[in-house]
Structure formats: C-alpha cells, structure tokens
Structure 1
C-alpha cells in the first residue's frame, strides 16, 4: 500500500510522464493549432481506460475525467505496438467532434496490458462542408467531415497506409493531419516508456495498486470539498445566443443538488437537440468528462492541490435527458459543441456561485472564438488553410483580485500565437491585436478585458470560419453587485461605408483588401463598483482599460487631468444606486426573461419532453415564432395550441400540460 508520501511521489512521476508526452507532441506537431495554440491532450490510463495522469503545463484542460473504456472495447486483439484511433462522436463518445482525432496505445508488461497511453489532436480540417469542418450552420454529422469508428491505425508498429490514404483524400490539408497524428503517436510512445520506467522503479504490483490509489485519492478530495459545502438545491440557467438560422437562444439549465459528499447535476430544462451543430454528444453518460469540465474548474479553484484524474468524477452524477442539446441522438451535428460547452461551464459556475458566494468569481467571457482562414498565397499560388488565432475573452472578477485580461479564464489553455508566426505561415496582415477598453464588467474587482483582433486578406474569395462566436447578446454575468461584461462583435471593414456587422455568423467570404475585426466578450465584475478604490480606477483609465466616461458612470470616479477629484467622486458615489441581487445579467437578458420567464420555460420543457425527439426542435421553433406579444407560461401554451392548429400532425404531448399561475 502507498502511504501519503509515497503516493505523492508516484503522483509526481505520473505528472512528469504526462508532461513529457505533451512536450513531445508540441515540439513535433506540424499545424500551428497544435504546436502554438495547443489544442491537444495527452493522458495516462489504467487497465480500464480511466485517466490517472494529465499534464498541467501544456494542452487542453478538458479531459482529466475522460475514460476510453468504451473505445478500447470496440477494438479486438491488441498486440504490442498497436495503436487504435477514432474521431467519430457517436461510436463511443470519446471524440466529441470530428476534427478531434483520439489515439490510444496499450502498454504491455510481461505479455499483459498494464496501462494505456492516449490523447487527441484537433486536426486543422477533416473535410466536410466548410474549411476547418466546423460551423454552427451545419445540420447533421455527415456535413462535418470524414469519420472513423474505433479501429487500429498502427499494427505492431506499422501504420495502416490504406486508412491514411482514405483520410488524406478527404481532407483539405492532408500533410498537417498526418504530421500531427504522427506527433501524437510519438507522444504515446513516450508515455509507454515512462510507464515501463515507473514499473521498473516501483514494481509492477505496486505501480498498479498506486494508480488505483491515485484515483481513490482524487475521489476522496472531491468528496471532502462537497462535505464542506452546505446541503441544498440550486438552479441556474444561461444562454448561447442562438441555436440556428431562426436566431432563437439556446438555453442550458441545471439543478444542482448537494447531499453530503455527493452531487447531482440535473440538466432537465435545457433545450431539445438543435438543428444546428451546437449539440454536445455525451451519450447520456452520467459522468462524461465533457459535462463535468466546469466542476473541475470549481474544485481546482477551491483546492489547487487536487489530483486531476477520473476519480474526481465519482461523486457527481449528471442527468441529461435523451434528445436534448446535451444528449443528442444520431445524426445531429455536434461540431460546435465547444461553444455549448463554454456556456455549460457558465451554467455550472452560476450554480456553484450560489453555493459558495465568497469563494468563486464572476462569469468568464465564455467566448473562445477560433479563427480559421482559407485563402490563396499570392507568392506561391497555393491554397493555405490555417488557424489564425483564438480570440478569447477576460476572466471574471475574483474574490480578491481583478479578472485576467484576455486570457479566457476557462479557455486560457488556448494559447496566443505570435503575430509574426501567423503572418509568416498565413498570407494575412494584422491591423490590430490587443485588449478592448471598457469591455470588463465593473466591480469592486473588475472583470478581465476582452481581446480584439483585426486582419486584412489579399486574395479573392478568402473564406473565414470563426467558430464559437457567442456572447453578442447575452452578457457574461456579474455577481454580488458587480456588473455584466461587454458583448462580443464581428465586423467586416469596420469604419468604412460598406461595413457589415456579422453578429454570431461564423463564416464569411472576404475579398482583396477586406478587413475582418473580431472582439470577444469580457469577464463579469465582482462586488459593488463603488467600493473599488479610486486610485485603481484612475490607474485603469491611465492604462486605457477603462475610459474616463465609464469611470464616472460605472464606478462613480471623477477625474480631472488624470487625478481623482475626491469631493466630486464622493458626491457621485452617494447618488448612484447599487445593483441588488446575486447576479447582474444586463438589460438584454432582463428584457428577454420578462417574456421568457422561468414558468414559460417550464411549460416549454414539459411540452417538448412529451413529443417524439424528431418533433421537438421544430415545435420549439414554431412556439417561438408565435410568442410576439405574449409572455410567460400562458403565452407558451397559446403558441403551442396555434402551432397544433397549423400543423394537425403535430402530436399531442404524452402528458397534460398544466399552466401554473405566474
């Protein structure tokens, strides 16, 4: 058995092994999106495919709770040197959109599988309807590129060239895909060597027992934190700006129940699966890692010394009704699940913010826009497709400091790509790249500032995809008197007579000389802005984080020639009315929820849950079309009755819909 000290020694070895894997992948990858942006993962897994080790310095932070068990079981007769792979979201719910190619390798010791190494890379393109394969406008999985169910890619150390030929024939930049996949294979081999070295150091049985002890320890840490929280039930909802061309919001809802050392996250009340690609393919797994990412962030905020592995998921149970946006059925499109996952994290943060108001921050931007360009290089006449840069937003105001500027907080693993590298590899010219003034939510602790970026293209018919565009209507929320943050935006040729505001449209065609400007959302503020020290506000103005006008209107600080006018500031602050309530959502959401009340959504949920899955999104859309001039549960019931009159084949709900008084 491992005592506490030896278990920590093993944990350090495990983390070092995972870090070595990550460095191997980053240093040998081909695409900028993997080697610079670092959209990849690597992990060490036990014999059942449960993750027991991940890196802390490199790569995405989504996957410490991932289990490959279902994927492993779908491939037979593993031999030393074999590597299996998949990118199909519906085969085993490991890959969650087609560009994410997952690989896993058995680690043999004395003829027996003792562990697995695994990970994923986000391929620049997997074919399909649009460059980079992802757009919210896509409506079914078949449009999102070629998919491979779990199968062997490497047989006893030799690549299956037929599989590679099929892949490279169907994707736009085959060299990048193959180069990144081979880099990941190198990382898995590195992990295999490190595991065998640990077995040699600790002994086979001690290593196997230690791996299970690491999982048990993470579980115990999570349960300790839950026991320290009050028992109770909390509810929270948030919205993605739109679910499709109909421009109806996509609502996510959670009811968080904490009892002792266990928690249930019931996502009933979230929207039906969508006709766009914002669906999240969880397969109904009650502990799917993609549903629990927000929980990892909460736990790590409360205890930065927790072990990140699958053990963290054990005290939590997620409920995701089949046919909803968080548990869609085939062939729903899922390519933009990362946008919905950002909102899912916001929903979980909002629920836990009510549980522990003194410990948690305001909402981060939740807007990690990733920009891809497909254009022609005028120097070589060759087509180029590349990720330009992630445009992420600010972190929410913290309990004792401002939110991080432009880091994305919950999307900070998406690293900045230096402009010089982007301009070298992609024929674009950057016009602007920096922080957006007045974009962070006002508060005792200010929300982090948004990122803004603008670049010019030179070739005709340059195609842009800017996936995960969101927060152009529903703001990141502030807490405890703090204000909601600034909104995101995307404009073609800003400031010119032919300027076009694109909102959340995530594809565009640019012509020679066109400029695309993108701004993320900021982070929400925390605490009453009037309690922020005037010298901090003056410093923000001097740094161009806050304008002098916003200093007065948002913070009640009057500046004269850059200096604080103490008397005028005191008088102005006395006259300002503070915001009451735990959350500040901004006028857009307040206006929306005056019509779409909680009772309205409860009625809508009851109607849709009683219909066959293939009728639900259609019915939701028809109800929304008829809500003009109506509000609340009664308005939803009336709109549904009109829809049934217009479409007699629309089934009656399985249960009677009762409209509660509002």
Structure 2
C-alpha cells in the first residue's frame, strides 16, 4: 500500500540528502582535479533491482540521473555485507558508457535483507590506452581506450582485492591519482550505507521499502503531468557533429519526438551509422538508456523544476534506436568520445521540445567545448604530470525569460572551472588568459551565453594536450524565434605569431617548450530578434566587455552616444521574427545537397548492409553524390551512387 504523500515527501528529502552527503564525501576527498574541481562524478541510491530513486542536485554531473544499474547488479551472483562491486566496461551491461568512467555499487543490508544499493561513478583522468587521457576521436575500437574491467567485486565482505587493484594501477598513467579517487569513491558508498541505515531507523523498514518504490511512481506521475501540458504532435529535429572521424564527414543526429497525451516516443531513425571513430554511444538496445534520455530529463526539469530526479521520469518514454548506428553501436566500436555525441544529442532533444513549446524553452546551447588534459614532465621535479586543467565550456541559449548563462550553461552547467592558481600549482604550465570571449554569444532579444577562452604556455618538450570533445567549428548552435547562432569554436597553436596553426577539431596535439595553446568554445544562441533587444541592455553588454562596438552596430544596430544613428540602424534591421531555427549559411549549404529525401534514402540503404560496411559505404556514397553535377535532392542520386558501389563490390549485399 502506498505511503501517505507527506511522509513520502519527507522521505524524498532524506533520500536526496543522503545522495548529497555521498557527493560531498567524494568531492572533499578526491585527488584528481577533474573530480574535486570539475566535479565529473555521480552518486545515488537505487532499489534492489537497480532503479535510481535518489540523486544529488548540488554536486556532480547531472547526466546519469535515472541510470539503471540493474544489468550490472544482476551480473554478480551473490552479495554479502561489506561487498563493493565495480566496472568500467561499456559493453558489460551498458551501465558504464566509456572506459574512464568507473562505476561502483555497494549492497546495503538491514537485518540480513538487501534493501538497496549505494552507487556512483567518477571519470578517471586516464585509464591507459593509446593516448593520454585515454580518449581521442581518432581511436577506432574500444581496445584502444584503456584497461576494462567487467562487473566484479573490488571489495568482498570488507576485504579489498589487492590483486585487482594492482592490475588497474599498473595500466594507467597516473596510478597515485587513480587510487586516491577510488578511495574517495569507496568512502562515498560507505556514506550512502550509513545514511540509509539512519533513514530506516527513522521511518522503519516497511515505510522505507515501500517508499523507495513510491518515489519512482511519483517521478513517473510528474513526468506524465509535464507531457500532458505539451500539444500532441510529431516534432522532428536534426543537428550535426562537424566530423564523423578526423578530417571526415558530418555526423547526423536525427530525432522525431512524438507526443501523445501523457506518453512519448523518441525515434532516432535517420541518425548516422556506427562510426569508425570513438563518437559512438553504447546503449545496448535499451529503449530508455540514460545516454539517450539525458536531454529528456533536462527538458522535463526545465519545464517543471519541481520534478523528482529519479528513474521514474523516463518511464513514459520509449526510444527507437536501430542497432549498428552511432547511437546504438555493436562491439568492439570505440566509444570514448561518446560524451560529445551525447551532448549534441541533448541539444537535439531540447530542440525537438522547443518546437513543441517554443515559448517555454531556450535556443541552442553551445555544446562545442573540450575537456582539457595535459600530459607533461615537471622540469623542477622530474615528475610526470597527467592532469585535467579545465572544461572549456560555452553558454546556454537565450530563453523566452532572459539571456543565456555565460561561460557554463545549459547541458554543461554542472561542469565547474578550476581556478588558475590551482592549475598552475599542480601542472607546469603558465596560463596567459582565462575568461569569457566577447561576441561569442548569439545575438537576440535575449542574448546567447558567452563562451570561455583559455590560453596557456607549456614548458617541457613532448607535452601532449588532449582536447576531447572538440566540435562546433563548422556547424554552429541554433537560434530560434529570430535569434542568431552562437560563434563557432576555435583551437590555435601559437596564435598571433608567424607560427600560428589552426588546429580545427584536432583533439591530441604534441607541443614544444614555449608553445602556446588558445582554445575558445562555441557560444550559445540567441532567442528572438536582436533588433528588439533594449538599447540599455546592449550598452550594458558593451560596458561589461561582453560585446564589441562593432558587434553592437552589426548585430543590434546600436551606436553608442548617437541616438539618431541607433534609431536608423535598428529600423533597418526590423523584420517579422522568424519562427524556425537559424544555424546560418554553413548548415544551409550542407542541407541543399543533403536534403531530407537524400538522407532518407541513405538511411534505408545503410540499414540493409552489414554493420562493418556501413561507415565505408556512407563515405563512398557521399563522395559520389558530391561529384554528381545533376543533383536533385530527391534521393535518386543516393540510389545511383549505391548502385555504382554495388557494381564495384558485389559482396556488399551479403
């Protein structure tokens, strides 16, 4: 029998507080900058079958709210008090989603009964593999992305498996750092156990046992309430990653969001095939896998911030994700950079919801900045340093209610910056500039959030900088309601010198002593026509250094100190607000060739091919279509290109 609503809300508060205490323990005791400063970690509590019923709101990453630990929980045959289990293998249950993410789960007992699990993950700065930080777009199979552990017991009845630990630390570049973070994780799940025991003593075992199920049911009811406020309909949305491999082709992510009363379907048919690069998202045919649902959770929470953050939010939705695609790859596809694909997918989902309720949701987030890692030698001590120094994030899109958050907003809002003093104390680099990039936010009635910029000088030869998740150098974020897209991202070696090199979407670069790196994220997009932005707001942005005088005139028609010129400039820009998205000329030019009909034909053809042929076939078809002088955009040139490919490779059909 469900417990009463008042008791349930009190229990919900206690459960969230327990998850927050776990997060605080981890945050305060971790060793790596990426955990203790950037906060790329999660904590939570799950039911005995792995359904997350409590997550923190104040600390850690927000991506894994509602993660189903059931597959890995079931992979262990027997649980005893004092056990702690772990995995970092993306293909063992599809709970871990790339090798640097180490997930732990601890069974919690009460009078001999298993009542729940304390769970969580950290992102290790490095787990070995082909490149420092273990992640690069260029990697082609999961074996290159570091050591992997299937679900196993790290601690058995309170005894640490030292042999397992030694194998782990032998295969990573910063073993002391990894061991320090792992100890923080163990402390975190122990905190969760203690807090659960406190809840049971307060509420009683029967109320606790029933209440954690009721919390999931309440999350589901809240999600259904939000869906009921959205008009029924089909809301398609598409966006692109710049490259499906280094120097490659754009990677298409497509969604048709179908709202029907209190339920929804997210159909990702039309997204690109599985890639020969590490951008694949391992979801294992799970119709509610968390990587597919992060944007769903964000959209629901944006529409109603009172919803509980638990697995119940996802129950009203079913995802359709064809196997062998970038969103549902098969082993041994590389998955290390799945975070970039997932971040872009979050924007796609928010874009589909934005079409459904355009006056309630923001424009496109930046989603184009990397996590920065440095692998170098400290010349003062001779010590090798492997460290994350900062996430280079962009702002949120402008919304119907105001400007987008500058620097770190929307789906990157949980990522925290590392102070310059800490970076310079822990890593032998000299930071020359760190702040907001002027003119990077998309113009609009409500301006898009500005991007961050980082510029630093390295000191040792052979320094390797890994800038994972580099993107948005080509396809910008999308403005809505007449708002303009944010600025593209930038990555430069030795900028403003005769040795300047544009690194584009490169994500691993080896540097010499004295080399300077400058990296700028893309910006958030604007909401509403720029000419409608109050002159006072434009002048305030100018005074704060958020825009330049040139941008004030170009984008907003505002000339400081000249009311007549401002009136003329804004009048010349006045036009009825556009209702669709604006992603500028780069996307328009691409979609004149790769129309909906051409992509539909490509999707149909590739779905019939063996998985290992799809990426190659896509690239060949693209080349043939680009060379076709008689393009019509109706799918016929795609079918003709495939026919030519079949003639060259008859075995492709088998």
Query: Is the TM value for this pair above 0.5?
Result: yes
In the TM superposition, residue 627 of structure 1 has moved relative to its aligned partner by 2.4
Tell me the equivalent position of 1:659.
none
Q: Is the 8 A contact 1:367 1:408 kept in 2?
A: no
Residues 277-310 of structure 1, C-alpha deviation per residue, up to 9 Å, x if partnerless?
0000000100111111001111111111110000
In the TM superposition, residue 409 of structure 1 has moved relative to its aligned partner by 1.9
Provide the C-alpha distance between the structure 2 equivalents of 1:118 and 1:541, rounded to a whole number of angstroms.
47
Among 614, 617, 632, which residue is 1:616 paired with? 614
Tell me the equivalent position of 2:404.
403
Question: Helix, strand or coil for the counterpart of 1:643?
Answer: helix
Tell me the equivalent position of 2:638.
636
Tell me the equivalent position of 2:194.
193
Question: Helix, strand or coil for the counterpart of 2:476?
Answer: coil
Provide the C-alpha distance between the structure 1 equivalents of 2:412 and 2:573, rounded to a whole number of angstroms.
34
Q: Is the 8 A contact 1:443 1:532 kept in 2?
A: yes
Tell me the equivalent position of 1:355.
356
Provide the C-alpha distance between the structure 2 equivalents of 1:627 and 1:397, rounded to a whole number of angstroms.
37
Provide the C-alpha distance between the structure 2 equivalents of 1:322 and 1:102, rounded to a whole number of angstroms.
25
In the TM superposition, residue 352 of structure 1 has moved relative to its aligned partner by 0.4
Tell me the equivalent position of 1:547.
548
Tell me the equivalent position of 2:14.
13
Superposed structure 1 runs of 4+ greater than 3 Å apart: none
Provide the C-alpha distance between the structure 2 equivalents of 1:147 and 1:408, rounded to a whole number of angstroms.
32
Give the 5 Å matches for 1:181-580: 181-559=182-560, 563=561, 565-576=562-573, 578=575, 580=578
Provide the C-alpha distance between the structure 2 equivalents of 1:421 and 1:354, rounded to a whole number of angstroms.
43
In the TM superposition, residue 629 of structure 1 has moved relative to its aligned partner by 4.2
In the TM superposition, residue 418 of structure 1 has moved relative to its aligned partner by 0.5
In the TM superposition, residue 199 of structure 1 has moved relative to its aligned partner by 0.6
Provide the C-alpha distance between the structure 2 equivalents of 1:22 and 1:29, rounded to a whole number of angstroms.
11
Provide the C-alpha distance between the structure 2 equivalents of 1:230 and 1:527, rounded to a whole number of angstroms.
22
Provide the C-alpha distance between the structure 1 equivalents of 2:644 and 2:8, rounded to a whole number of angstroms.
64
Provide the C-alpha distance between the structure 2 equivalents of 1:639 and 1:406, rounded to a whole number of angstroms.
44
Aligned residues: 648
Question: Helix, strand or coil for the counterpart of 1:590?
Answer: helix
Residues 559-578 of structure 1, C-alpha deviation per residue, up to 9 Å, x if partnerless?
2xxx3x22222222222264
In the TM superposition, residue 628 of structure 1 has moved relative to its aligned partner by 2.2
Q: Is the 8 A contact 2:397 2:403 kept in 1?
A: yes
Provide the C-alpha distance between the structure 2 equivalents of 1:454 and 1:644, rounded to a whole number of angstroms.
49
Provide the C-alpha distance between the structure 2 equivalents of 1:574 and 1:417, rounded to a whole number of angstroms.
44
Provide the C-alpha distance between the structure 1 equivalents of 2:249 and 2:640, rounded to a whole number of angstroms.
18
Tell me the equivalent position of 1:627.
625
In the TM superposition, residue 18 of structure 1 has moved relative to its aligned partner by 0.7
Question: Helix, strand or coil for the counterpart of 2:21?
Answer: helix
Question: Helix, strand or coil for the counterpart of 1:258?
Answer: strand
In the TM superposition, residue 144 of structure 1 has moved relative to its aligned partner by 0.2
Question: Helix, strand or coil for the counterpart of 1:650?
Answer: helix
In the TM superposition, residue 612 of structure 1 has moved relative to its aligned partner by 1.1
In the TM superposition, residue 251 of structure 1 has moved relative to its aligned partner by 0.5
In the TM superposition, residue 374 of structure 1 has moved relative to its aligned partner by 0.4
Residues 132-170 of structure 1, C-alpha deviation per residue, up to 9 Å, x if partnerless?
100000000000000000000001111100101111111
Question: Helix, strand or coil for the counterpart of 1:626?
Answer: helix
TM-score under structure 2 normalisation?
0.98
Tell me the equivalent position of 2:649.
647
Question: Helix, strand or coil for the counterpart of 1:113?
Answer: strand
Provide the C-alpha distance between the structure 2 equivalents of 1:62 and 1:70, rounded to a whole number of angstroms.
18
In the TM superposition, residue 642 of structure 1 has moved relative to its aligned partner by 2.6
Tell me the equivalent position of 1:584.
582
Residues 434-456 of structure 1, C-alpha deviation per residue, up to 9 Å, x if partnerless?
11111100000000001110100
Give the 5 Å matches for 1:128-207: 128-207=129-208
Provide the C-alpha distance between the structure 2 equivalents of 1:504 and 1:350, rounded to a whole number of angstroms.
24
Stretch deviating more after TM superposition (642-651 or 453-462): 642-651
Among 591, 594, 599, which residue is 1:593 paired with? 591
Q: Is the 8 A contact 2:44 2:56 kept in 1?
A: yes
Stretch deviating more after TM superposition (623-632 or 482-491): 623-632
Question: Helix, strand or coil for the counterpart of 1:89?
Answer: coil
Provide the C-alpha distance between the structure 2 equivalents of 1:170 and 1:88, rounded to a whole number of angstroms.
15
TM-score under structure 1 normalisation?
0.97
Q: Is the 8 A contact 1:423 1:429 kept in 2?
A: yes
Question: Helix, strand or coil for the counterpart of 2:651?
Answer: coil
Q: Is the 8 A contact 2:531 2:574 kept in 1?
A: no
- 2:601 equivalent to 1:603: yes
Q: Is the 8 A contact 1:464 1:507 kept in 2?
A: yes
In the TM superposition, residue 382 of structure 1 has moved relative to its aligned partner by 1.4
Provide the C-alpha distance between the structure 1 equivalents of 2:296 and 2:370, rounded to a whole number of angstroms.
22
Tell me the equivalent position of 1:43.
44
Q: Is the 8 A contact 2:369 2:520 kept in 1?
A: no
Provide the C-alpha distance between the structure 2 equivalents of 1:443 and 1:462, rounded to a whole number of angstroms.
41
Q: Is the 8 A contact 2:395 2:406 kept in 1?
A: yes
Question: Helix, strand or coil for the counterpart of 1:71?
Answer: helix
Q: Is the 8 A contact 1:428 1:458 kept in 2?
A: yes
Q: Is the 8 A contact 2:8 2:214 kept in 1?
A: yes
Provide the C-alpha distance between the structure 1 equivalents of 2:646 and 2:100, rounded to a whole number of angstroms.
40
Provide the C-alpha distance between the structure 1 equivalents of 2:510 and 2:456, rounded to a whole number of angstroms.
14
Residues 221-244 of structure 1, C-alpha deviation per residue, up to 9 Å, x if partnerless?
000111111111110100011011
Residues 492-516 of structure 1, C-alpha deviation per residue, up to 9 Å, x if partnerless?
0001111110111100001000001
In the TM superposition, residue 6 of structure 1 has moved relative to its aligned partner by 1.5
Residues 395-414 of structure 1, C-alpha deviation per residue, up to 9 Å, x if partnerless?
10011110011013211111
Provide the C-alpha distance between the structure 2 equivalents of 1:368 and 1:334, rounded to a whole number of angstroms.
18
In the TM superposition, residue 647 of structure 1 has moved relative to its aligned partner by 2.8
Question: Helix, strand or coil for the counterpart of 1:649?
Answer: helix
Q: Is the 8 A contact 1:366 1:408 kept in 2?
A: no
TM-align CA RMSD: 1.1
Provide the C-alpha distance between the structure 2 equivalents of 1:408 and 1:382, rounded to a whole number of angstroms.
36
